[in-house]
């Protein structure tokens, strides 16, 4: 029996959701997973090395929410389900992937599950409260799912709230938490940082680095880190802060750093490719992920970068918001602080910078947590167990 993954986000597309789907395609047993996903100009470079069967739609991700594209995807999914004797369907997101999943379920009685991440639930919650049509479609898609998979306890609670809004309270028993992970063979301590220092012109002497890997958006909290820097520098004048990521908030963040007199201590590196990320983490003394709730959809549902940093043996300081407490074990793999409190952030970072034994112990605990739990192999085992539970053990 085979599993079908309907993935709106899939490599070479970037982002945490695409990474999750790409890792499933790498790690399901050969022949056990078929992926249906939009076309991409660079797809062949990704697809050729995967044990999964990857079936590319004849249009890109931007078109998948149009009615003709949804209908085409539904028919293609039904054909794939018949050809490969599919026993279970994973929806990589509620919409648009939920439409073809529901189509297959109605015509072939194949059960499906939906992944939820956080911002998607907030978006759905807003839509169903303001549109009768959106409410009806969400109720049909979510009500038909055999299982709803969330990536953190916070996301689970948000899913339960949405189910209540839709009059589907009884479906709460179908909700499962599946924490995300990373690859401890790729993200690991001891990676040579020389090439990354040279590529991004980072000084190789006389300083320690705080690092963040995130899109430059308001809810990611880099402004709180910048506001904390003066207090950090008072006790650790050698510290610098490097941010890997692109996004709309860069100008504001650069201006803030200049206003606070720390512009020479903050480096915005732009996009750092996957091949350089392990070295970038190894450059650091402390990883900082100060995400918070901001705006209608700004939230961190889990935080893959947090466990990537832990895999590299870094102590983590993170904002106590959204799903982050599920990715950072307070006092063990890092410290959680109020995400809008620069003084609290500075205090936790300064504590780790001042106590090298504490930093080493916390970083080592983070590495162990990834080796034993926060890894993609465990994620796949969890999903296969869910499939077997739903199908009555039909999934191999």
Structure tokens at 394: 């039909």
Indicate the DSSP class of residue 199.
H
Q: Report the alpha-carbon angle 320-316-21, nearest 5.
A: 80
pLDDT tens digit at each of 396 positions of the chain: 799 999 999 999 988 899 999 999 999 999 999 999 999 999 988 999 899 999 999 999 999 999 999 999 999 999 999 999 999 999 999 999 999 999 999 999 999 999 999 999 999 999 999 999 999 999 999 999 999 999 999 999 999 999 999 999 888 899 999 999 999 999 999 999 999 999 998 887 778 999 999 999 999 999 999 999 999 999 999 999 999 999 999 999 999 999 999 999 999 999 999 899 999 999 999 999 999 998 888 899 999 999 999 999 999 999 999 999 999 999 999 999 999 999 999 999 999 999 999 999 999 999 999 999 999 999 999 999 999 999 987 554
| pLDDT for 394 | 55
Question: 69: number of CA atoms within 13 Å, CB side?
Answer: 19
Bridge partners, 287 (sequence order): 211, 316
Euclidean distance between CA atoms 104 and 83, whole angstroms: 13
d(CA 22, CA 35): 10
Q: Which residues pair with 137 in a beta bridge?
A: none
DSSP string spanning 86-121? EEEEEESSSTTTHHHHHHHHHHH---EEEEE-SHHH
pLDDT at site 170: 86
Task: Report whether the peptide linkage leading into residue 251 is cis, meaning its omega lies within 30 degrees of zero.
Answer: no
Q: Facing residues of 298 across strands?
A: 294
pLDDT reported for residue 296: 81
B/e letters for 349-362, b = 16+ CB within 10 Å, e = fewer, are bbbbbeeeeebeeb
Degrees to nearest 5, angle at CA 119 with 117 and 345: 90
What per-residue confidence (pLDDT) applies to 210? 97
Question: Residue 333 has what DSSP assignment?
Answer: T
> How far apart are the C-alpha atoms of 107 and 275, rounded to whole Å?
43
Q: Which of 202, 180, 372 is nearest to 284 (CA)?
A: 202
Label residues 131-164 b or e (16+ Cβ within 10 Å = b).
eeebbebbbebbebbbbbbbbbebbbebbbebbe
Is 286 strand, coil or helix? strand
Give SS3 for 139: helix
Residues 302 and 170: their CA atoms lie apart, in Å, by 26
Strands (E), the chain: 2-6, 33-37, 53-56, 86-91, 112-116, 147-150, 175-177, 208-213, 239-244, 266-268, 286-289, 316-319, 334-337
3-state SS string for 150-185: ECCHHHHHHHHHHHHHCCCHHHHHHEEECCCCECCC
Element (H, E) at 141: helix 132-144
Q: Domains along the chain?
A: 2-181+375-391 (3.40.50.2000), 194-372 (3.40.50.2000)
Contact 362, 333 (CB under 8 A): yes
Strand partners, 336: 318
CA dihedral 272, 277, 281, 287 (to 10 degrees): 60
Q: Which residues contact 120 (CB under 8 A, 6 or more apart)?
A: 93, 94
Q: What 3-state class would DSSP assign to 318?
A: strand
Question: What residues does 149 pair with on adjacent strands?
Answer: 115, 176
Cβ neighbors of 343 (< 8 A, separation 6 or more) are 228, 231
Helix 376-391 to helix 16-27 angle (10° resolution) is: 70
Two tokens, residue 12? 């070479």
């Amino acid at each position: 029996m085979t599993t079908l993954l309907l993935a709106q986000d899939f490599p070479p597309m970037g982002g945490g959701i695409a990474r999750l789907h790409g890792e499933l395609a790498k790690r399901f047993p050969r022949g056990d997973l078929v992926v249906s996903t939009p076309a991409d100009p660079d797809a062949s470079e990704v697809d050729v090395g995967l044990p999964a069967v990857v079936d590319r739609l004849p249009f890109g991700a931007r078109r998948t929410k149009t009615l003709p594209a949804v209908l085409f995807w539904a028919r293609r999914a039904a054909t794939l389900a018949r050809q490969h004797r599919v026993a279970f369907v994973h929806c990589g997101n509620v919409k648009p992937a939920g439409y073809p999943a529901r189509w297959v379920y109605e015509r072939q009685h194949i059960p499906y599950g939906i992944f939820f991440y956080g911002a998607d639930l907030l978006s759905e919650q807003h839509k169903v409260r303001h549109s009768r049509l959106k409410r009806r479609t969400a109720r049909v898609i979510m009500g038909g799912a055999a299982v709803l998979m969330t990536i953190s306890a916070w996301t689970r609670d948000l899913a339960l709230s949405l189910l209540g809004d839709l009059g589907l309270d009884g479906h709460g028993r179908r909700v499962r938490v599946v924490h995300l992970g990373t690859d401890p063979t790729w993200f690991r301590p001891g990676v040579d940082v020389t090439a990354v220092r040279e590529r991004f012109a980072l000084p190789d002497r006389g300083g320690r680095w705080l690092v963040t890997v995130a899109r430059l958006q308001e809810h990611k909290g880099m402004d709180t880190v910048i506001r904390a820097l003066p207090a950090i520098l008072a006790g650790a004048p050698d510290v610098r802060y490097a941010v890997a990521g692109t996004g709309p908030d860069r100008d504001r963040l650069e201006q803030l750093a200049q206003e606070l007199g720390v512009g020479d201590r903050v480096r915005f590196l732009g996009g750092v490719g996957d091949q350089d990320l392990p070295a970038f983490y190894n450059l650091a003394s402390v990883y900082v992920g100060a995400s918070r709730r901001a705006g209608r959809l700004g939230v961190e549902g889990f935080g893959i970068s947090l466990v990537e940093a832990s895999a590299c043996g870094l102590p983590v300081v993170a904002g106590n918001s959204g799903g982050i407490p599920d990715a950072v074990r307070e006092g063990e793999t890092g410290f959680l602080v109020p995400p809008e409190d620069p003084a609290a952030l500075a205090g936790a970072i300064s504590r780790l910078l001042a106590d090298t034994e504490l930093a080493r112990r916390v970083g080592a605990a983070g590495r162990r947590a990834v080796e034993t739990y926060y890894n993609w192999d465990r994620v796949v085992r969890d999903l296969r167990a869910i499939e077997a539970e739903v199908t009555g053990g039909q999934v191999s």
